[in-house]
Amino acid sequence: MDAQRIDTIVETHDLPTYRRQQLLHAFFTENCATFDDVTTLSKSLRTSIDLPAMTVRKRRLLVSNEGNAFKALVELDDGKLIETVLLEPKPGLWSCCISSQVGCLMKCSFCATGRLGFTRHLTSEEITDQVLFWRQYIRAEGLEANLRNVVYMGMGEPFHNKDAVFASLRELTNPETFNIGARSISVSTSGLVPAIEEFTDQFPQINLAVSLHAATDELRQHLMPVNKPYPLEKLRAAMDYYVDNTNRKLFIEYIMLDGENDQPAHAEKLVQYIRGMARPHLAHVNLIVYNPTDAGHRESPRAIARAFMAILKDNGLSATIRKNLGRDINGACGQLALKGQV
């Protein structure tokens, strides 16, 4: 459901303007899930609308043992499946992690999604409907949750599906529909440089996260094939472009792989790389202890991660270790792989 679908309904059924407002209110304020739920419409009108309200349908939903992570397997209109996650990283602060593709083409060695291969892009509506899905779930379950943040860190590389992702960002920030503040939205990329610059020009208030994971071309290309067309110097120039044109914090994602990129020498290389940015004080490093998949990597011990972070901080950089939520339901970063699909 989005503004375009509502406009299509209004036009198809020759409805007056106030009906459009009723539909907008029903789906984006009251979080109705079907047209039958829209009681401001007459029963005959509800019955006559033969368009589905949503492009995603729940197939399975898992809840973590701690109750602060929910993962949904949802089916699209063509039968393809994706996963989306609802998280509570801090009490009362809820975020949803949404997918932008069925599968992924990037083939990062540590990511379970990349092992699925790439099937197709999602449409803008399929992307934003994941946010509606979680709003409707919160309402239906009576959860004491206020969904405040949206992160494009689910299945797929958002900038590989640039046109649909950009359209979905406009919809999420549309005051008539989702009305989510730009600074409450984050987009993560593996480093598609041209799209980073376009994103900066069009969405300067939306957060950008860059998946780095190594600070030398040799190691990064081993972990992330995208480094071949867009090596570290080109990527740093794109990150500088974002920071220079937005004057906003840039998030650098760094997954901690035991014995591969987590040693003091790796931390020193990362310090050198970030210090080479035009405005390194605006870079914040999110250290992510690897979440187990079938990819053959191992997670860094927490003590190693803390020592790595200490080196960054001792050199004046901003850094934190991200709390991993939803591991027990394979809903943490890098784990979305449609396991146990039904």
Residue 70 backbone phi and psi in degrees, to 5: -130, 135
Residue 101 burial (CB < 10 Å; 0-12/13-18/19+)?
A: buried
**d(Cα 337, Cα 113) in Å, to the nearest integer?**
5
**d(Cα 145, Cα 182) in Å, to the nearest integer?**
20
The verdict on whether 333 is a catalytic residue reads yes
**Per-position b or e across 16-40, b if 16+ CB within 10 A of its CB:** eeebbebbbebbbeebbbebebbee
The verdict on whether 83 is a catalytic residue reads yes
Q: Point out the catalytic residue in the list 11, 32, 83, 253.
A: 83
Q: CA dist 120 to 78, 112, 257, 336, Å? A: 11, 17, 29, 16
Place of tokens 């359209």: 167
Half-sphere exposure of 332 (CA within 13 A, CB side): 18
Cross-strand partners of 95: 87, 149
**Tokens, residue 44:** 């005959």
Q: How many CB atoms lie within 10 A of CB 149?
A: 18
**d(Cα 93, Cα 12) in Å, to the nearest integer?**
40
The angle subtended at Cα 101 by Cα 145 and Cα 3, nearest 5°, is: 60
Q: Point out the catalytic residue in the list 32, 96, 97, 333.
A: 333
Helix (H) or strand (E) segment spanning residue 307: helix 302-314
| CA-closest candidate to residue 155, choices 101, 75, 106 | 101
Residue-level length of the chain: 342
DSSP 8-state symbol, 138: H
Q: Kindly give the pairing relationship between strand 81-90 and strand 250-256.
A: unpaired
Q: Which residues contact 142 (CB under 8 A, 6 or more apart)?
A: none
Residues designated as active site: 83, 333
